[in-house]
Structure 1
Amino acid sequence: MNINATLINLYHVCQREMWLHAHVIRMEHTSDVVYEGKLIGETTYPQRAERYTEVELSLEPEVPDGARLTAKIDFYDPHRGVVHEVKKSAAKEQAHVAQVQFYLYLLRKNQIKAEYGLIEYPKLRQTERVELSVADEAQLEGWIAEAGRIIATEQCPPLLAKSKCRSCSYYDFCWSSEPAS
């Protein structure tokens, strides 16, 4: 099983979406919201590609049948050990922090300098600093284990409240058989 930073983010947003994504049921290609996020990520800081490094990481399981952890970090400053993550959201979310902590965790487990992360919210014109303490690592390992358990189940997790799903790329997939409200 492969657990990546996207799945850790989705673990905090919607475990149903996490399960669907992990089972390669993808709807992002139909979503204007996802397209807008990619556009913001690609155009907000055009000089980033020159200054920072893109990093792909993995961590093989230490136990048999454990999850393989993977991540692709778009903007990493190897000199300072800083992960930069751009989010289109107009709200700060725990899922964003968890995703950056996952990046820091993988960097450190691979003996790569990882001091802290910065989540940049262009719409809010704010930046949030993300740390990874020993307690945070333990909590993250719990999230990884729980995400793996959920993904390994045969049944998709239940729907969230419909009001939370309106801008989700899986909205039609999840709610098409439900009566309109």
Structure 2
Amino acid sequence: MTDADPVERLLATARGEPIDDPFRVTGVMMQYYHVCKRELWFESRNLEIDRDNPTVVRGTRVDDTAYSDKRENLHLGMIALDLLDDGRVVEVKPSSTLTEPAEMQLSYYLWYLDRVADVQRDGVLAHPRERKREPVELTPERTAEVEESIRGIHGVVSRSSPPPAEEKPFCDSCAYYDFCWC
């Protein structure tokens, strides 16, 4: 199945089917793909981020405290989600600065639930510090975007070297900054 479409390989891996070359995608990988492909490549090689980076610390603090009385964690195969007490999948982010990557991460969770567990759910993207919540639904268009992103992720993580560094407005706050610019 090595030459199979990455989406089919991911689904086979998630379903526990015996395949020669398993392929896994996490929610973080989906987010990184839409933020910075170089960051995705580093993460795919298990290069540890700078846990003391202020952006990482702030994100962890917000994630640990927001909706703590209304959330429960659920680990399902290659994804880890937070469910609100009403059954919606929630993705908590410290700010709405990078909304598209967060929406794609949440959309991937909804896609995974639909395709692997045959469970349909709606999602909510929450920015508690800004008191904002945005609904996210898995539409046919969003499904196509998720599947194209899975193929793109496969292309990035299959490379033998990272994509070239591209300067972006948020590079200074990135936990992988030293891998690109120092």
> TM-score of the superposition, structure 2-length normalised?
0.81
For residues 21-170 of structure 1, the aligned pairs below 5 Å read 21-48=43-70, 52-58=71-77, 70-73=78-81, 75-77=82-84, 80-161=86-167, 163-170=169-176
Query: How many aligned residue pairs are there?
Result: 160
Q: Matched residues in 1 for 2:75 and 2:172: separation? A: 32
How many Å apart are 1:90 and its aligned residue?
A: 4.3
How many Å apart are 1:115 and its aligned residue?
A: 2.5
> TM-score of the superposition, structure 1-length normalised?
0.81
Q: Which string of whole-angstrom CA distances, capped at 9 and with x for unpartnered residues, describes residues 29-75 of structure 1?
A: 23121111111111222313xxx4311123xxxxxxxxxxx2111x2
How many Å apart are 1:123 and its aligned residue?
A: 2.1
Q: Tell me the amino acid that sits aligned with residue 54 of structure 1.
A: N
> What is the aligned-residue RMSD (CA, Å)?
1.8
SS at match of 1:53: strand
| Higher alpha-carbon deviation: 85-94 or 3-12 | 85-94
Is 1:16 aligned to residue 22 of structure 2?
no
User: Identity over aligned residues, as a percent?
Assistant: 28
Equivalent residue, structure 2, for 1:172: 178
Q: Tell me the amino acid that sits aligned with residue 28 of structure 1.
A: D
Q: Matched residues in 1 for 2:53 and 2:79: separation? A: 23
Q: Matched residues in 2 for 1:90 and 1:128: separation? A: 10
Structure 1: state its 5+ residue gaps. Answer: 59-69, 177-181
Structure 1 residues 124 and 26 mapped into 2: Cα distance closer, same or farther (>3 Å)? same
Equivalent residue, structure 1, for 2:5: none
Q: Matched residues in 1 for 2:34 and 2:66: separation? A: 25
Q: Which string of whole-angstrom CA distances, capped at 9 and with x for unpartnered residues, describes residues 90-143 of structure 1?
A: 425100000000110111123353331101101221101101112211221110
How many Å apart are 1:12 and its aligned residue?
A: 0.4
| Higher alpha-carbon deviation: 129-138 or 108-117 | 108-117
Structure 2: state its 5+ residue gaps. Answer: 1-22
